[in-house]
A = this chain, B = another copy of it.
């Protein structure tokens, strides 16, 4: 019947957050720039999907990719201002999890 009285901007933000891995990638980047292999091994995401997510996040202006032509090449992913602004969401998720989820 009524296809969405939901604010389309909210809906878009929510669909971003509900993509598998996206939240964790952002969470990891909140502690500073990270390389591809670091993200990959620290959170158990597959390279295939990590690559896809980073590209999406870059396209959306949430993540920034920088190449350092060292040897071997170093590529760092970090948050833009738009990405950093997601921190309060992460903090609230953190709070909720600590209040409502069991320790084990």
Contact = CB atoms under 8 A, between A and B. Distances in A.
B94 A10 contact: yes
Task: Report how many copies the assembly holds.
Answer: 2
Contact of A96 (B20, B24, B42, B88): B88
A42 B4 contact: yes
27 contacts: A1-B41, A2-B41, A3-B42, A3-B44, A4-B42, A6-B24, A6-B42, A9-B97, A9-B101, A9-B103, A10-B27, A10-B94, A11-B24, A13-B93, A13-B96, A13-B97, A14-B27, A14-B93, A18-B18, A18-B20, A18-B23, A85-B99, A86-B96, A88-B92, A88-B96, A89-B96, A92-B92
Interface of A: 1-7, 9-14, 17-24, 27-28, 41-44, 82, 85-86, 88-89, 92-103
